[in-house]
Amino acid sequence: MEVLDLLDFLEQNIQMASKNLVGKVSINKKEVLQTITEIRNYLPDEFSEAKNIVEKRERIINEAKREAEEIIERARRRAQDEYENSDILMAAKQAANEIVEEAKKEAKEIKTEATMQAKEIKYGVMNYADGTLSHLQKEIDLVSEQSLINIKKEMEAMLISIHKQIAGTTSTIRENIKELGNSN
């Protein structure tokens, strides 16, 4: 299953990504987005595979119905050809009805099983993809939050440094003005 392989690859990239000084993971955004695109491209294939399974089950069910109908028809003809006795005819009808009921029951079980399998595959793929994408979003959010904190700290330090330079320059200008005023 290509989707599962791609999700495993994505998870492994996140887990093995290098960490910066504050312990946050740095990931290759382009590679992650490309992997997500590939996952989206494969999902229709997975759903198509599930649909093919359901269609195959329905063909089996239809074939079982046809066989049951053929068996019933053969039983009817045989009963009419070989037996004129009403007791035997009734027994044959009952046997035919039992065969029909058994065939219907078996067809219904096969259809139910096929439907359940298709739903399990669909929900499994969707849940796995959703979980992996949620985990990835959390990682991205954490990295973004830490980056904003670091930028804020750097900006505060830079503003304090600029303020000190301006204050030092202002003091120097005042002293120069005083000296100019004293020299006159």
The pLDDT of residue 84 is above 70: no
Give a yes or no: residue 180 inside a domain: no
Give a yes or no: residue 158 inside a domain: no
Give a yes or no: residue 17 inside a domain: yes
**52: which 2 tokens?**
């093919």
Q: Which of 58, 52, 59 is nearest to 121 (CA)?
A: 52
**57: which 2 tokens?**
């089950």
CA atoms within a 13 Å half-sphere pointing along the CA-CB vector of 184: 5
The pLDDT of residue 1 is above 60: no
Tokens 């759903």 belong to residue: 47
Which domain range does residue 135 map to?
2-144
Q: Which of 22-26, 52-56, 92-96 has the lowest mean pLDDT?
A: 22-26
The pLDDT of residue 46 is above 60: yes
**Cα separation, 137 vs 10, whole angstroms:** 12
Distances (CA, A) of 95 to 84, 87, 101, 160: 16, 12, 10, 96
Q: Note the pLDDT tens digit of each residue in 126-181.
A: 888 888 888 888 988 888 889 889 889 989 989 998 899 988 888 888 888 888 87
Give a yes or no: residue 115 inside a domain: yes
pLDDT: is 16 or 30 the higher one? 30
Confidence of residue 15 (pLDDT cuts 50, 70, 90): confident
Give a yes or no: residue 130 inside a domain: yes
Q: Helix, strand, or coil here: 166?
A: helix
What is the secondary structure of 1-14 as a DSSP string? -HHHHHHHHHHHHH
**175: which 2 tokens?**
């002293």
**78: which 2 tokens?**
């045989």
**Cα separation, 58 vs 171, whole angstroms:** 90
Give a yes or no: residue 127 inside a domain: yes
Give a yes or no: residue 31 inside a domain: yes
Rounded to the nearest 10 degrees, what angle do helices 29-82 and 86-183 cross at?
A: 170
Tell me how many domains the chain contains. Answer: 1
Q: Helix, strand, or coil here: 35?
A: helix
